A and B are shown apart, each in its own frame.
Chain A
Amino acid sequence: MKNIIEIENLHFSYRDDTGNLSAEVLKGINLNIKEGEFVAVLGHNGCGKSTLAKHINAILVPTDGKVIVNGIDTSDDSRIFELRQCAGMVFQNPDNQIVSSVVEEDVAFALENLGVPYEEMRRRVDDSLKAVNMYEYRLHSPAQLSGGQKQRIAIAGIIAMQPRCIILDEPTAMLDPQGRKEVMSTIRQMNREKNITIVLITHYMDEAAQCDRVVVMDRGNIILDDTPKGVFSHVQKLKEIGLDVPQVTELAWELKNAGYDIPDDIITEEECVEAIKKLFGGKTIGSS
């Protein structure tokens, strides 16, 4: 499969008030993402993960190095609209990205800017709202919606542009468990059914565990890049840079350290249950 995102030796520094470059935030990132991949990016606050995400649809452009998305160099100003149709971004705060007072108008916002004909727009807005399971709310005011519903509206607005790739910067950080589940299942569905490439920035390890691939950043560098199992087996390393691992992974790691024979790549509850049963050799325990 071809790469939809190619990041080559990306360096980035913000400029201070006087226009001078301040300390480097990204220090030579190399990362290729294939069409249809579902990638999580983990890292503690300030590690550069949001800065990296903003390079994918040219909110930021590299100080040095290259970012190519669907064949478009992000530093090419003349193709910026084409680029942003192809790579859409969803932000953390649902209230910051809703512009209209009616749900369906909000979803249509980008299409109006792109000059999509009415019939086509009507169809795309309806399809997008159905895709995120919010069609029946199309005439509601976004103000009446929950955080999770608002994020799904934001996602619908992106899908309406028929992008190849969606970048989500901690889309569930401000949501309750129900809202998180709704948004995660919508994202997974977009990936599976529409083959949209997903780059998900998150602090939640259980969300990362659901992805195909996990990239871990620390101080402007990529330090791990593997399957969720591969990444979470580095319990010590992740703890050192201030990240968690799923509780089941941590339990397995603790038991292994205590000398028990248990796999170090457990990331789901089911795997953990099976491993513990195995430790007890199929015996049962009763509380009475």
Chain B
Amino acid sequence: MAVLETQELTYIYSAGSPFEKVAVDHVNLKIDAGQIIGVMGHTGSGKSTLIQHFNGLLKPSSGRVLLDGRDIWEDKNKIRDVRFQVGLVFQYPEYQIFEETVYKDIAYGCRNMGLDESEIKLRVIETACDIGLKEEILERSPFELSGGQKRRVAIAGVMAMRPKVLILDEPTAGLDPAGRDKIITHIKNYHRRTKNTVLIVSHSMEDIAGFADKILVMNKARLFCFDDTVKVFGRSEEISEIGLDVPQITKVFTKLKKQGLDFGKEVYTVGYAKDLIIKYLRERGL
């Protein structure tokens, strides 16, 4: 069964005013449990508005959001529970760190859930390990850490709540290539261990190509597509037209196809491109 589902989800900012703007327009989605999903869309496409519905930060103007088959707004008083089950990590989450030690900052959400101290400790240590923070820094002030470390502390705080669905809004923005790889590796580790659903928002297909099971693309408030990664890459030209970055390697293979070298496959990683070229060369005895 789908862990998250939207039915005709619509959201209108400043409804009834001259600034009225439809940010999400009749979106129907079913997200299966346990997958990693890449969420893409140009600035203003509605992707941030969409994900803010998943944990009830925004209430639909019309339509429904279902978590495990239940409308999250069915009982308004239970919306707090929804926020424990769907964890949202904002862009630049390191700006939200405020506690005096790393341990306390990671524990903050768990404490709000009313967990007992021993459970909190277990979760903080487990999560710190997932996200690649050594135990000895847990007692340090988070403000002494590097930018990349701070970001991991902020992400860990949400992971420690063990949400069924973890949503990260551009978790690698502003990091260098090594920092990007590190965060992605740790998110994959978390996913492997917990088998929880993970949604990652990104502008770059290159970033999510390597690990997303499915990709969701928003364009002009509507769902442009939601499909297996390989199928979405099959539409890379359209995706490029709506202002998103397509991996350089995909563009090369699109050009090759036009010039008479059709490898018959969607290519979006360098490793796969290499294997494919070598296979074809060998077959031709070259």
A residues within 8 Å of B by Cβ? 44-46, 92, 146-147, 170, 173-174, 176-179, 203, 206, 242-244, 246-248, 250-251, 254-255, 258, 260, 269-270, 272-273, 276-277, 279-281, 283-287
Interface status of B137 (Cβ within 8 A of chain A): no
- With both chains docked as a complex, state the minimum distance between the C-beta of B116 and any C-beta of chain A, in angstroms: 38
28 contacts between A and B (CB under 8 A): A45-B146, A45-B176, A45-B179, A146-B43, A146-B44, A174-B173, A176-B42, A176-B243, A177-B204, A177-B244, A203-B176, A206-B248, A243-B178, A247-B206, A247-B247, A251-B252, A260-B278, A260-B281, A269-B251, A269-B255, A272-B252, A273-B256, A277-B261, A280-B261, A280-B284, A283-B284, A285-B264, A285-B280
User: Taking the complex as formed, is B147 at the interface, i.e. its CB lies under 8 A from any CB of chain A?
Assistant: yes
Return the chain A residue nearest B262 by Cβ: A287
Whether, in the assembled complex, B8 has its beta carbon less than 8 Å from a beta carbon of chain A, the answer is: no
Given contacts A44-B176, A45-B146, A173-B174, contact A273 B286 (CB under 8 A): no
> Inside 8 A of A203's CB, which chain B residues have their CB?
175-177
B113 at interface, CB cutoff 8 A: no
> Would you list which residues of chain B between 271 and 286 have a CB under 8 Å from chain A?
271, 273-274, 277-278, 280-281, 284, 286
Assembly CA distance A270 to B259 (angstroms): 12
Q: Which residues of B contact A173 (CB under 8 A)?
A: 173-174
Query: Judging by beta carbons under 8 Å apart, are B270 and A176 in contact?
Result: no
Q: Are A45 and B147 in contact (CB under 8 A)?
A: yes
A-B CB proximity, top 5 nearest: A287-B264, A242-B178, A284-B260, A247-B248, A244-B177
**A residues less than 8 Å from B147 (CB atoms):** 45
Question: Which of chain B's residues have a CB closer than 8 A to the CB of A272?
Answer: 252
With a cutoff of 8 Å between Cβ atoms, the chain A residues found around residue B174 in the complex are 92, 170, 173-174
B56 within 8 A of A: no
Q: Are B203 and A276 in contact (CB under 8 A)?
A: no
Given contacts A92-B174, A276-B256, A287-B262, contact A246 B248 (CB under 8 A): yes
Chain B residues with CB below 8 A from A177, complex form = 42, 203-204, 243-245
For residue B148, CB closer than 8 A to chain A, the reply is yes
Specify which of A174, A255, A280, A283 is in contact with B274 (CB 8 Å cutoff).
A255
Give the distance in Å from the alpha carbon of A280 to the alpha carbon of B262 in the complex. Answer: 12
> A44's contact among B177, B277, B280, by CB below 8 Å, is which?
B177
**B101 CB to nearest chain A CB (Å):** 20
Minimum CB–CB distance from B176 to chain A (whole Å) comes to 5
Whole-angstrom CA separation of A254 from B249 in the bound complex: 13
Decide if A247 touches B177 in the complex (CB within 8 Å).
no
Q: Give the CA-CA distance A206 to B246 in the complex, in Å.
A: 13
A243 to B179, CA, bound (A): 10
What's the nearest-Cβ distance from chain B to residue A16, in Å? 13
Distance in Å from the Cβ of A45 to the closest Cβ of chain B?
5
A174–B247 Cα distance when bound, in Å, is 19
A221 to B146, CA, bound (A): 20
CB-defined interface of B230-266 with A at 8 Å, one 1/0 digit per residue? 0000000000000111011101100110011111100
Contact in complex: A255, B277 (CB < 8 Å): yes
Q: How far is the CA of A242 from the CA of B179 in the complex (A)?
A: 9
Q: How far is the CA of A46 from the CA of B260 in the complex (A)?
A: 46
Across the two chains, which residue of chain A brings its CB closest to B250?
Answer: A247
Cβ–Cβ < 8 Å partners of B261 in chain A: 276-277, 280, 284-285
Q: What is the CA–CA distance of A287 and B265 in the complex, to the nearest angstrom?
A: 8
Q: How far is the CB of A253 from chain B (nearest CB, A)?
A: 9
Chain B residues closer than 8 Å to A179, beta-carbon distance? 43
> Known contacts A203-B176, A258-B274, A285-B280; is A279 also within 8 Å of B286 by CB?
yes
Query: What is the bound-complex CA distance between A246 and B270, given in angstroms?
Result: 10
Contact A276 B248 (CB under 8 A): no
A45 contact set on B, CB distance < 8 A:
146-148, 175-176, 178-179
**Residues B43 and A269 in contact, CB atoms below 8 Å apart:** no
Q: Which residue of chain B is the closest to A47 with respect to CB atoms?
A: B176
Closest Cβ of chain A to B103, distance in Å, is: 24
Q: Pick the contact of B286 from A146, A280, A287 — CB < 8 Å?
A: A280
Chain B residues with CB below 8 A from A281, complex form: 286
